[in-house]
Amino acid sequence: MVISFYYGGKLVGHTTTSYHEGCRISLSQPPPSDKLYGPDSLEHVPFPSADAIPNDRQKHITKKLFGHLERGVLLHSNKQGIFIKRLCQGRVFWSGNNVLYKDRPNKLDRDEVVKIFDASQFVRELQQFYSSQGRFPESRVLLCFGEEFPDTVPLRCKLILVQVEQLWVRQLVEEAGKVYSGGPMLPVADETQHDQIFRIFQDICGAHQRPLFRENQQITV
């Protein structure tokens, strides 16, 4: 997974996870064998420090919010999609292609495993896009900590946003952008481009079908 952190709309951290078991996004490395933070085999991805935030009021509120995010969330990625488990006391809202409600914010319930990105749905919508029958599918998940999301407040005003992508999906989107000079949201210009992007789609999705992660891996406490 590719994980990007935004404070007040500004990119403050970026990392690519490497553990097959998944990762834990939290404030600090948990004590050894503390099951309240999930399995020890998870990679620890810390929230970036709020000290770099130039606005003093924003910095103060962000640090105050950190007090409710100590245990953070657990993330796992496999060929089915991305799964999350909220452990922290603070509220977490999310958006992605597998949302339950499209007309109001989706909140993660504490200690419940939720599928927040559906890889099969992405592939289906991508095929429709290549056939000029739809728009380019949503490829990312956004997590908003401590504030309702999405709502009428612009993204640049949200204190803590975390963007999560599967690496193979990001690679596919980047390759699509190279073929469509104006970006992957443009319709297919001609048959030659269509053939080229479809080969990219087959190559990357074919690799995606290979078991990059342990089958049936579940997030546990």
User: Could you tell me the residue ranges of all domains in the chain?
Assistant: 2-209
CATH assignment, 2-209 = 2.60.200.10
185-216 pLDDT tens trace = 333 333 344 444 445 455 544 444 433 333 33
Which strands make up the sheet holding 73-78, listed edge to edge? 43-46, 23-26, 73-78, 81-86, 113-118
pLDDT tier, 131 (very low <50, low <70, confident <90, very high otherwise): confident
pTM of the full predicted structure?
A: 0.78
User: How far, in whole angstroms, is CA 6 from its chain's centroid?
Assistant: 12
Distance between CA atoms of residues 168 and 208, nearest Å: 7
3-state secondary structure of 173: helix
- Residue with the bigger pLDDT between 130 and 8: it is 8
Burial 69-93 (b: 16+ CB within 10 A, else e): bbbbbbbbbbebbbbbbbbbebbbb
Distance between CA atoms of residues 189 and 153, nearest Å: 36
